Amino acid sequence: MTRAFLALILSIVATPAFAHDIASAGGFLAGLAHPVFGLDHVIAMVAVGMWGVFLRAPALWLLPIVFPLVMAFGGVLGIAGVPLPAVETGIAASAIVLGLMVALAARPPLWVAALLVGAFAIFHGYAHGKELADDANALAFSAGFVIATGALHLTGIAFGLLARWPAGRLAVRGAGGAIALLGLAYLSGLA
């Protein structure tokens, strides 16, 4: 299990963070790739799934539904050119906060967790929408990034299910701590 955890962390760290540069293409495949190739997006979205596992049902499924729905709204804001300050800071903060929620196995009321996840989703969606090329198919791109986001949430849920065992719980909480640290690195410009 230690090797699997280490492999997960190394694969996340090794992924180049160029999601904010690939939006020159604008179809379904570009939307599908956008969240997956941005470390900042990957770690936050995986954390949502892992945190849902700690919070149990209905949060296990509610958080991964809230995130893409609100993210799509943020995408519309970005496409429309509505100003949103500190987008990159909000994205980094999402990794820090969501990673800490997993690391601490925090269990706030469901509405607080959903509000927190939704607030961060706006920043992620906005980044997707703002960087969409003018000649791109916004609907196809949006469908791609929502599907990719769901897949990342499912990855977090799958990894989070290791928390059923004592060693797995430590691995999942450790991954949450690693996500928070990567968020800090991203915020400081190191990632």
Helix axes 39-55, 138-160, angle to 10 degrees: 50
Closest alpha carbon to 12 in 50, 32, 41: 41
Other residues' Cβ atoms within 10 Å of the Cβ of residue 33: 18
Task: Please give the average per-residue pLDDT across 163-171, as a whole number.
Answer: 94
Beta-carbon contacts of residue 172 (< 8 Å; ≥ 6 apart): 50, 53, 54, 102, 159, 160, 162, 163
pTM for the whole thing?
0.83
Instruction: Give the domain ranges of the chain.
Output: 39-188
**pLDDT for residue 184 is more than 90:** yes
Half-sphere exposure at residue 55, Cβ-oriented, CA atoms within 13 angstroms: 28
Q: What is the secondary structure of 74-89 as a DSSP string? A: HHHHHHHT---TTHHH
pLDDT band for position 15 (cuts 50, 70, 90): very low
**pLDDT for residue 70 is more than 50:** yes
